[in-house]
Each structure stands twice: as structure tokens, then as C-alpha cells.
Amino acid sequence: MEVGFLGLGIMGKAMALNLLRNGFRVMVWNRTRSKCEGLAEHGASIGESPAAVVSMSKYTIAMLADPSAALSVVFGKDGVLEQICDGKSYIDMSTVDADTSSKISEEITKKGGRFLEAPVSGSKKPAEDGQLIILAAGEKALYDEVIPFFDALGKKSFFLGPVGNGAKMKLVVNMVMGSMMKALSEGLSLAGSSGLNQQTLLDVMDLGAIANPMFRQKGPAMIQGNYPPAFPLKHQQKDIRLALALGDENAVPMPVAAAANEDFKRARSLGLGDLDFSAVHEIVKATGSWGDAV
């Protein structure tokens, strides 16, 4: 099967490579063209625009930064809408809000195309290893048809019903994740300030009821003040902001997530947006009594 792929950032590059490794013919496009060259070395062809990719592909997958990127790639000049038509499908795996996804879905289907939203849980390494968790919603027949792609990209796919449910599920998960990251950061700071060994704190937590891969993977680097980007902080802040908006719409109070959002916003304002989201630790450290101030 041939497939188009739009957006070759941290996630998109790894995902497109996995499709190639699994024997699919892939045509890629990225706003910054230089990022396409690495994929071409692995056998991808390069499209000159999103429209060019859609014109050559029965299925086109997108993995873009945020709602504004997702909308501009579809609605902009030389965008997806210019070539989508009966017989072609668009699968947006970016993390966006339900309104953005619905807008895209409506216009694609008006043109006769089919649409699926399919944001993912799992970061750079799971993307490289084809171990993502796929949260799909939209047209069920299309979901069934693209399972071979999802099998190459992930370890488990969920079909969650109408368009919007995938986006919402993803935002809820990342709202919890952002709040947990703030809690971990406060725990490390409190341990340090109280004269405890921070690695021992991680070891203790890893053996008990709150053990989880995120603490295990990010904790040691946070102690060292290292934040190589796997999940960029600017995207975590976008997700928690969109989750808070979903909370507003549904009158769900979320004071913990709102407090975490303030720290992620502050981190962005201090230029930490392109680091891993664990860099929020620099903000927690700076506002406490332990560690180096930002």
C-alpha cells in the first residue's frame, strides 16, 4: 500500500521510518524540506506540498505540531483540501482539540474524502520502536482498513467512536501526565531540600504503587538537570491548555492541572519550550529553596 506522510518532527520522522521498514511505499512532505532528505535515504519519495502528496496517495497521514499547523496544512495554499476527493483518506495523528479535528473532518468529507483522527500516546522511543498507543475516532470502516499502518506504528489501537473522542481522550491522558510531571518535580525538590538522596527517592517509588515508566525514564536525567527533547515542553503546555479548555466546556474543575499549566507556561516564557517537558523541573526548583535557579 502507498501512503503519504506530512510532518517529520520528532514523532513523524520515526513513524514514517517505521512505515518504510514495514514495506509501505511512503511519500513525505515537511514544511522544512531538509528534514525530508533523511527519509529519502531510506526510500521515501518527496512531495512538493501537502496537496502533491495527497494527489499521489490513497491514504495520507499527518503528524503536526498543534491545531494551527494541522489547520494550515489542510486549509492553506497547496493544502490537503486541494486534492482530497472520493477514494482518498486523511488520517490526522497530531494532538489537537476536538473542534479542530471536527473542522478538518467536515471539509474533507464535504470533498468526498474520508477522515480519521488518531492521536497517539507514547513518545520518541515508542515511535521509533513501533510501540505507540493509537487513539482513533471517526469512520470505522476506514479504521479497519488502515489497521496495517497502525500495526506498524503501534502496539495497540483503540477505536473510540465519533470524531472528537480521540482528541479528547488524548488531552485527558496528557493532562494527567503533565500534572504527574509537576508532582514528580516537587517530590525531587522536596527530597533534595530535606537532605534526602533523590535517586533513592526514585528507587523507592519504583518499587511501590506509584511506579511508572515516566518517573523511571525521566527522573534520573531530571536530577542531573538534563532535558533532551523527546516530548517538547511547548507541546505539553499546548495539551494541558487544550485539556483545561475541555474542562471549561464541561464545567469540570481541574485545579491541579491549572497549577501545572502555570509552571509549563512559565517554562515556555523562559525559553525552555523546545526542551523535554521534564524541564518544568527548572521552574519548580527555581520557585523552591533547592537547586539552581533558572
Name the site residues for ligand O=CCCC(=O)O (rule: CB under 6 A): 95, 121-123, 174, 231
Whether 170 is a known active-site residue: answer yes
Asked whether position 219 contacts ligand NDP by CB under 6 A, the answer is no
Q: How far is the CB of 65 from ligand NDP (least distance, A)?
A: 4
List the interface residues with ligand NDP, window 92-121 (CB under 6 A). Answer: 94-95, 120
Amino acid at 15: M
C-beta of 149 vs 215, nearer to ligand O=CCCC(=O)O: 215
Q: How far is the CB of 18 from ligand O=CCCC(=O)O (least distance, A)?
A: 17
Q: Is 234 left (phi over 0), alpha (psi -120 to 50) or beta?
A: alpha
Instruction: Choose, by CB under 6 A, the member of 59, 90, 215, 231 that binds ligand NDP.
Output: 231
Interior angle at CA 134, CA 85 and CA 73, nearest 5 = 40
Asked whether position 46 contacts ligand NDP by CB under 6 A, the answer is no
Instruction: Choose, by CB under 6 A, the member of 47, 79, 113, 232 that binds ligand NDP.
Output: 232
Q: Which of 13, 103, 168, 170 is catalytic?
A: 170
CA atoms within 13 A on the CB side of 26: 31
Q: How far is the CB of 87 from ligand O=CCCC(=O)O (least distance, A)?
A: 32
Specify the 3-state DSSP secondary structure of 256.
helix
The beta strand positions in the chain, using DSSP E, are 2-6, 25-29, 45-46, 59-62, 89-92, 114-117, 120-121, 132-138, 154-159
Q: How far is the CB of 104 from ligand NDP (least distance, A)?
A: 13
What is each CA distance from 59 to 55, 74, 87, 114, 142, in whole angstroms? 10, 14, 9, 9, 10
Distance CA 58, CA 14 (A): 21
Amino acid at 123: S
Positions in the binding site for ligand NDP (CB under 6 A): 7-12, 30-32, 35, 63-66, 68-69, 72-73, 94-95, 120, 123-124, 230-232, 235
| Residues taking part in catalysis | 170
